Amino acid sequence: MTLRPATPVPFDALPNPRGGAVRLAELALAEALLAFEQRSEGTSALVRASQALRGAGWLSAQRFTDALVRVSPLAAAGDPADADSARPVFGAALRDFRAALERHNLRELSCSPVLFNHYRALSTHLSEHTPGSTVAFEDLALAARPVPPVSLHAQPADQLAHLRARYERALLPVLRSQPDSGSAAALAATNAALDELDLVFGELAGPDPYDFWRLAKACAKALRLGGRATGETDARRFYARCNLALADHARGIELAPRSLVRATLALLWRDYALFGAAAEDADQVEVLHDYGLTVDWHVAATQASEMLWEAGAAEAQAFTATRTTLTRELGLLTVNANAYEDFLQTADASISALTEHARAADQPEKADPTEALQAGGAAYRLGSAACALGLGHVALLADALGLAWRRRAHAGVSTPAVRAHVIVGAPPARTLEQAAEALRATLHKVAAGVAPPGGNAALSALTRAIEQGGA
């Protein structure tokens, strides 16, 4: 059983019945859909939806809505009988986006392949009027998130040449593979080629936690586990771009291209963000934590248990919808009152721990990587809880702080072999302390029933420290 959306859509991720709702955006999208069906003006309603989503910190959803805003005039003028018209593309995107928004799952709004396919289709129509504009999955998935520099550690030239030759031999059958091929021999050949690529990634990976080949290895594993390693455009592009990165590596380039890092990270996160992670995914989740991304841990092991969970989710959301006293208003966000109280209790413990860790971090002689990891864990717990409640701005700041602490932990490792390969330094203690204080002030507002602000200076400072080396 699934929650009833505005229209049936093939989304995979579970709905979030205790998640916050941006009612103003939902109403505006309903108005825009009605206007579209009646062939009347609906752009103004979409603009209101975009502004509401931005105010709530649902930035990936806001980016999608902005694409709808730009395509809306083209759709209004389109001929439904014209196969190349923007109208059917716009209508399908609007309906599915409205349905997704009502599921209140922020990670799904960021990482849904269904929504991204709509986003890409909308952008295709826009590109006819604004040549040169391109979109990528990470534009939605990683909206407003800092991404640290990633290294290509030095290796002997002959070793790199040998590994690249192996990679190129295995790459061709992967790029030519068809996911629905009925040939057992073809499938075996493709799997053998993927095995070889995995081996090459493993041999390339260096000791630096922010080594690109470590990230690529984790991404390749996630693609295979999700059944997406062959036949999918983004997967083909990933494998092909890694070949180009090998060429850069052989030329002595020390940092992986930022666009490649973002694309690889988004692909790694996608299925874990949508479906959660199990105990056997612990290594993959550690890599995600190193880059400021979190997931939910799931325990449902069978389809029947998943269906039971969804049935309970539907019942909970239906009950909440009929009991207005069970909600609280935080500016533009309407939250479940019980989830709100739970969040405040867990957030208080996390922010106290973060503040203490930040104060201690200003004493280099007492630097302890284990404590830095604990601080990162506290920030991630806060970020995940905020994400589940719908507090987008809080989740972004907390996740960025968790990333900053992870980098500080890795920069303080005691192993010289690892420390020698860390190119980017740790964010300064003062930045960590300011971010923790900003989080505390924001949570005080949330506790007082006031909407948290967005675009704060603390997030900007963290982003600079993370992306520019922490200087």
The pLDDT value recorded for residue 455 is 63
Amino acid (one-letter) located at 25: A
Output the CA angle 402-407-413, nearest 5 degrees: 125
Single out the residue of 104, 112, 90 nearest to residue 33, CA to CA: 90
How much is the mean pLDDT over the chain? 86
Asked if 259 contacts 233 with a C-beta cutoff of 8 angstroms, the reply is no
- Report the alpha-carbon distance of residue 334 to residue 51 in Å, rounded: 16
- Report the alpha-carbon distance of residue 216 to residue 173 in Å, rounded: 19
Asked if 371 contacts 432 with a C-beta cutoff of 8 angstroms, the reply is no
pLDDT, one tens digit per residue, over 209-242 is 999 999 999 999 999 998 898 888 899 999 999 9
The upper half-sphere exposure of residue 111, i.e. CA atoms within 13 Å in the direction of its Cβ, equals: 24
pTM over 0.75: yes
- Domains of the chain are 23-135 (no CATH), 157-290 (no CATH), 323-467 (1.20.120.160)
The pLDDT value recorded for residue 1 is 27
- Confidence bin at 318 (pLDDT 50/70/90): low
Contacts with 36 (C-beta within 8 Å, 6 or more apart), sequence order = 42, 75, 76, 90, 91, 94
* Percentage, residues of the chain above pLDDT 70: 83
pLDDT, one tens digit per residue, over 323-381 is 454 899 999 999 999 999 999 988 988 888 887 777 766 665 455 788 889 999 999 99
- Confidence bin at 454 (pLDDT 50/70/90): confident
Q: How far is CA 223 from CA 232, 266, 443, in A?
A: 10, 11, 37
Q: Which one is predicted more confidently, 347 or 132?
A: 347
Asked if 343 contacts 383 with a C-beta cutoff of 8 angstroms, the reply is no
Q: Is the pLDDT of residue 6 over 50?
A: no
pLDDT, one tens digit per residue, over 49-103 is 999 999 999 999 999 999 999 999 988 876 655 546 889 999 999 999 999 999 9
The pLDDT value recorded for residue 369 is 80
The upper half-sphere exposure of residue 244, i.e. CA atoms within 13 Å in the direction of its Cβ, equals: 11
- Confidence bin at 396 (pLDDT 50/70/90): very high
The pLDDT value recorded for residue 420 is 52
Amino acid (one-letter) located at 229: A
Asked if 104 contacts 28 with a C-beta cutoff of 8 angstroms, the reply is no
What is the residue whose two structure tokens read 């805003």?
69
Q: Is the pLDDT of residue 33 over 50?
A: yes
The secondary structure of the chain in percent helix, strand, coil, rounded to multiples of 5, reads 65, 5, 30
Q: Which one is predicted more confidently, 291 or 74?
A: 291
Contacts with 196 (C-beta within 8 Å, 6 or more apart), sequence order = 166, 167, 169, 170
- Which tokens belong to 70? 């730009």
The pLDDT value recorded for residue 176 is 86
Contacts with 313 (C-beta within 8 Å, 6 or more apart), sequence order = 3, 14, 15, 16, 17
Residue-wise DSSP of 201-245 = HHHH--S-TTBHHHHHHHHHHHHHHTT-SSS-HHHHHHHHHHHHH
The pLDDT value recorded for residue 71 is 93
Q: Is the pLDDT of residue 316 over 60?
A: no
Q: Which one is predicted more confidently, 454 or 287?
A: 287
Report the pLDDT averaged over residues 12-16.
80
